[in-house]
Amino acid sequence: MGLEVYINGEFFDRSDAKISVFDHGLLYGDGVFEGIRAYGGKVFRLKEHLKRLYESAMMIMLKIPLKIEELEQAVFATLQKNNLHDAYIRLIVTRGEGDLGLDMRLCHHPSIIIITDKIILYPDELYRKGIKIVTVSTRRNISEAVNPCAKSLNYLNNILAKIEAVNSNAHDALMLSVEGYVVECSGTNIFILKNGALLTPPAFLGVLEGITRNVIIYLAKEFGIGVQEEPFTRYQLYNCEECFLTGTAAEVMPVVEVDGRVIANGKPGEITRKLSRKFKSLTRREGASIYK
């Protein structure tokens, strides 16, 4: 059986899963989304992802046509339909079909799309050895423009950064704020270990508050590791003891080189490995079962 995609309450084979070319999600990137993971038949931090989805929708004045409990059940149904226990879930809500103008009032029926499939962002070898990232010229969107707190379908800012990284033969792009502070990578949050404490950029710089980011902050505090959400520069990043990225797809990815500077001894650090192991263990223990 092929992959089945959920669209507005119905399931379609991936080859028949279609939306209108007049959908404003396609025409203008007008919509919101979440990337979610299922581990062993349990969806990790589903309520947190759904809460962020509805908050993103509120930010862009998009009314999701299902209650949060109904959307949760739709996610479970899509996983069951595809017989997936370990999966990446892409949950999308678009403004819906309208005309070629910008007036969102002409889009009367938002579209809900749920895709469940496998995802491999990085090969296992890179989790053991770490990755190289490079600072790019594309700055992170400012909050007064396209607010990064809203996880919208308008992802061109991140894509432009990723293009620069690919052109530089780096694994990911480091994005700065307009003031020059470290913000995040193209699709992940960033942490550094400096003087025995973890630093991660605060949300007001233009950071998307990642679900995995918040889990790592919680786990670090459980281990007795201090965590500070405060601005820092590339100078501090270049001279840190450890660096790693976090994200739903990436999980916990060690960084061993930034802009040609080797971080510490050029190997994933002890704290990074410890948090990664704890995170993996947590994903298998916690989560909303798809067979409630």
Mean pLDDT by 10 residues, the chain (292 residues): 92 96 98 97 97 98 97 97 96 97 96 94 94 98 90 96 98 97 97 97 94 97 96 98 97 98 98 97 90 70
pLDDT at residue 120, as a whole number: 84
Asked if residue 290 is part of any domain, the answer here is: no
Q: Do 140 and 194 share a domain, yes or no?
A: yes
Q: Do 137 and 279 share a domain, yes or no?
A: yes
Number of domains composing the chain: 2
pLDDT at residue 54, as a whole number: 98
The residue among 109, 91, 90, 92 whose CA lies nearest residue 22 is 109
Burial of 202 (0-12, 13-18, 19+ CB in 10 A): middle
Domain boundary among 67, 92, 117: 117
Q: What is the DSSP pairing of strand 131-135 with strand 251-258?
A: parallel
Asked if residue 292 is part of any domain, the answer here is: no
Choosing from 42, 132, 151, 162, the catalytic residue is 151
Per the annotation, the verdict on 151 as an active-site residue is yes
The residue among 119, 155, 109, 113 whose CA lies nearest residue 18 is 113
Helices 46-59 & 68-81, crossing angle to 10 degrees? 120
pLDDT at residue 121, as a whole number: 81
The residue among 86, 80, 132 whose CA lies nearest residue 259 is 132
Q: Do 138 and 242 share a domain, yes or no?
A: yes
Dist CA 264 CA 153 (whole Å): 37
pLDDT at residue 291, as a whole number: 77
pLDDT at residue 31, as a whole number: 98
The CATH code of the domain that includes 144 is 3.20.10.10
Q: Do 104 and 214 share a domain, yes or no?
A: no
Q: Do 108 and 232 share a domain, yes or no?
A: no
Q: Do 102 and 221 share a domain, yes or no?
A: no
pLDDT at residue 95, as a whole number: 98
Asked if residue 191 is part of any domain, the answer here is: yes
Question: Whole domain around residue 58: which residue ranges?
Answer: 4-117
pLDDT at residue 1, as a whole number: 61
Q: Do 49 and 163 share a domain, yes or no?
A: no
pLDDT at residue 292, as a whole number: 62
Q: Do 111 and 136 share a domain, yes or no?
A: no
pLDDT at residue 5, as a whole number: 98
Q: Do 154 and 232 share a domain, yes or no?
A: yes
